Each structure stands twice: as C-alpha cells, then as structure tokens.
Amino acid sequence: MPPTPTPSQRYAPNAQDEPETPMMMIPDLFTSLPPIQDTLETQTSRLQNATINECLPFLCGEQDNVRYNQYGVPHLDRARHIKFLRKHLEKLPARYVTLDASRPWILYWSLNGLSILGEDVSRYRDNLVETARSIQNPTGGFGGGIGHESHLACTYGMVLALAVVGGEAAYEVIDRRALWKWLCALKQPDGGFQMAIGGEVDIRGAYCAAVLVTLLNLPLDLSPDSPAWTDDRPNLFTGLAEYVRRCQSFEGGISAQPGGEAHGAYAFCALGCLAILGAPHRTFPRYLDVPRLISWLSSRQYAPEGGLGGRTNKLVDGCYSHWVGCCWPLIEASLAGPSKLMFDVNKVKNSDIDIHNLYSREGLIRYILCCAQDHSKRGGMRDKPSKTSDAYHTCYVLSGLSSAQHVTRLLSSDGEGMMTHSEYDVSPHHGSPQIYAEEDRVNATDPVYFIPEGKRKEIMSYFLSKPGF
C-alpha cells in the first residue's frame, strides 16, 4: 500500500489524470500538525486540536465550494462582504435587540469595514448624524442607545463612525465642550480613565480618551471639579503613560488593569495610547519592556492555523487579526524610528532582523482568506470556520488583512514632548511570493486610529482650524 500523501502533496500532478490537476504551493507549516505536541491531554488541548482539525481542510485547499489560486488561497469575496455590511446599516431583525446598547459599534464596524473594502460611505451621513444626535447626552459623550448613559467605548465608536463618513454635518453634531467636561469627570488620580461615571478604570479608557482628545482637538486642561484635580494643575494626559506602564503583565503582554491577565486587545490599546502621547520609538521603550512584549505577541500566532489568538492557551480567533496583528506596525515603527522613504528602512541599524516580518504575514493572510472568510452566500468575516459571520469580526478581520497587506513606516515626529504628532507612510507590502491577487488587496488604514488615513486627516484638520469651543 502506498504511503498516505501529506496535505501539501495531495494536489501533485498525476500522469493518469486528464487534464493534470495543478499542484497548489502550500508550505507544510500550514498543512501539517504541529511538530511538538504536549502529551498531557486537557480540555484546552482537546479544544486546540479540534480547532486545528476544523481549519486544516480550508488551509489544505480541500473545500469543494471554494476556488483556490495556485498558492492554495481563495479570492477575497469583496462583493458579498460589502452586501453583508450594508445590511447592518438597514433596519435590523428583531434578534438584534440584544445589541441595543451597541448601536455606535454596529455603525462603526459596518462603515469602517465598507471603507476598507473601498466603498464610499458618505451617503450614510445624514442618517448617521440623526442617530448620533439621538444618543448624545447633554452632560457629554454618547450612550450605546437612546436614553443610555454615556460610555467611553460607545463615544469612541460613534466619533470614529462620524469621522469615517466625514463632512461638516458629521463633525458639528459632536458637542465638544460637553464631551471635554465629561472626560474631565472620568479622569482619575492614578492617571487612567473610567469607562463611565462610576464605572471601571482600565486600559481601554486610556486609548479611547487619547483618541477623542486628539481627533477633536479638545483642551488638555483639566477642570477643577475633576476627581484628578490637584493644586499641581494636572491635565487630561497627566500620568496616563505611567498608567499604561503599570498594565504590562509578568508575561510581557498588557492587561486591562495593573495585575490582570495579558490580552491582545489591551496590547493594542496600550500601544495606540502611547503612540498618541509621543512618537513610538520614544514612548514604547520609555514605558514598556518592548522585548518581552514582542515575545508575548509572537506567541499569539499559531501553526498550522496561521491566525492569532488573544491570550495564552486560547484559540485562534479572526478578530485578533486586528487586535494583535495591528500591534505589529506600531512595534515596527518603534524599532525603526523615523525614516525617509528614499532609504532602505527594512533593516534596523546593525541588525539582520527584517522588522517588517516580525510575524508571519503569509500565515495571517492564509487564515483570513481561507478560514475567517464566510464562503457562503451570507458573506462577511468570522471567528473561525464553525462560527457565524458578524459585523464585529468583519470589520476587525478586514483591518487585520489591511495591516498584513501593508507596511507602516514612521516618517516624522514634530517634537519630543507629550502628545507630539507623528506622520506615517502606509504602503503596499509585496510578499515573495505574493500569495493573493492584487485585486484582493484592501485599503490602507491609519495605524493608530484605524479609520482611513484621509478621513483621520480631514477631521483633525477641521478641528485644528477651530480652536476653542
């Protein structure tokens, strides 16, 4: 009996076939079981093995309803994903009542996902402005739905959605004075921010607040009635970087709060916050143990799946294509520092490390297009093949795909102080080989704010030209 072929050999040409079956060039890394496996069986190991077995048929090119290219990678079904996201901007079915407190998020996920896919979303501006007005509170910020108390995450999502559609009407619906007063009330003596009045203080608040202050050009001054006010006259960013520093865990990752478990989404919030407070090549090594963080982030990518997980001993999940995958461009900017495009910036000085390949871009792209893409008529993106697509995963999987398909370089920083503005160049990354067709490349996004770079510049320019309230 002949030996059983390995997954990567299953499509080798057979002289008896008419016509020959083309061989797909899939590295064994993505088609074989891990070379090292723990012999101690636990619930965690059983779930991990089940996930590998769930993903392998997609990674090996064995799905009959999927068309693969010569590298064993399907095309991006752009039209279906666009249709899927558009449905989330229409009247939603009754079952979505459970997401009533997440209205700003549904809008951001859908609009930003469409923008990444190349769609013009300005036609949604009028309806979005009316929705924003209905959930904005006179005390500042936006709630998750009509009549809900303001929440920092919902406010972040709503402001980003307004930035994505752009235009004066979208910008002017934001009550910046009330929002500033509300942020002052959320600012805490330890440097962090509450997520809502009386709510938890965590790393999400640090990032969301930094995004809102800089996008909307809010004053850094702290109102005297803030819980963080002292005679030293602190501001909104006082102690914020130090708070981020305290959230780095013993593993090297970032936790929600000091002493917590490291998590991929919190790592991105920490890096995004520090990148706003100063240029990454200055703030990251000043406030974080970068080598330990790189080690932790590297451990979040699995083989054969190629995708990313969010915590130690957790399964791969498509959404971490963004939360973990989008940490890498900022890490790369931190290692390389400012550069000029006419020079070779792929290498760190005196180093053989290719800083733009600190993780497997190919592996992540394979997972996204093979496993995280819903290949049915439904469209959209998902956690893994056994899960259903949704707007959340569609937005963040596409964001991760965009990051993997592009290279981010820090071009300049306008100073060394707090809240210095940095400019980035985000240009196409060309793999060798490039395993996807050029038509499957999605739009680039801003590496810190994760909206289209042009939209980030537009909203910042608008409010920079309108000092004060």
Residue bearing tokens 């990678």: 73
Catalytic pick from 81, 187, 263, 366? Answer: 263
Annotation says 232 is catalytic: no
196 CB neighbour count, 10 Å cutoff: 20
Annotation says 383 is catalytic: yes
Of 301, 272, 271, 266, the residue nearest 288 (C-alpha):
271
Annotation says 320 is catalytic: yes
Catalytic pick from 176, 187, 366, 393? Answer: 393
CA distance 223 to 218: 12
The single-letter DSSP state of residue 466 is: S
CA distance 42 to 47: 9
Whether the CB-CB separation of 436 and 425 falls below 8 Å is answered with: no
Residue bearing tokens 């009316």: 130
Annotation says 311 is catalytic: yes
Catalytic pick from 317, 371, 375, 436? Answer: 317
Annotation says 319 is catalytic: yes
The single-letter DSSP state of residue 387 is: S
The single-letter DSSP state of residue 24 is: P
60 CB neighbour count, 10 Å cutoff: 22
CA distance 387 to 190: 40
The DSSP H or E segment spanning 424 is strand 422-428
Annotation says 326 is catalytic: no
Annotation says 151 is catalytic: no
| E strand spans, 308-387 | none
CA distance 225 to 174: 22
Catalytic pick from 10, 281, 314, 429? Answer: 314
Catalytic pick from 154, 184, 269, 319? Answer: 319
Of 352, 441, 390, 334, the residue nearest 78 (C-alpha):
441
Burial classification of residue 447, based on how many CB atoms lie within 10 Å of its CB (0-12 exposed, 13-18 middle, 19 or more buried): buried
Burial per residue of 343-352, b for 16 or more beta-carbon CB atoms within 10 angstroms, e otherwise? eebeeeeeee
Question: SS3 helix, strand, coil % of the chain, rounded to 5?
Answer: 45, 10, 45
370 CB neighbour count, 10 Å cutoff: 28
Whether the CB-CB separation of 73 and 436 falls below 8 Å is answered with: yes
Of 206, 111, 154, the residue nearest 445 (C-alpha):
111
Catalytic pick from 175, 374, 383, 440? Answer: 383
143: three-class secondary structure by DSSP: strand
Annotation says 263 is catalytic: yes
Catalytic pick from 156, 171, 207, 320? Answer: 320
- Looking at the DSSP bridge assignments, the partners of residue 309 are 316
Annotation says 314 is catalytic: yes
Helix axes 280-287, 264-277, angle to 10 degrees: 120
412 Cβ contact list (under 8 Å, min separation 6): 338, 422, 423
Catalytic pick from 311, 387, 421, 429? Answer: 311
Provide the annotated active-site residues.
Answer: 263, 311, 314, 317, 319-320, 383, 390, 393
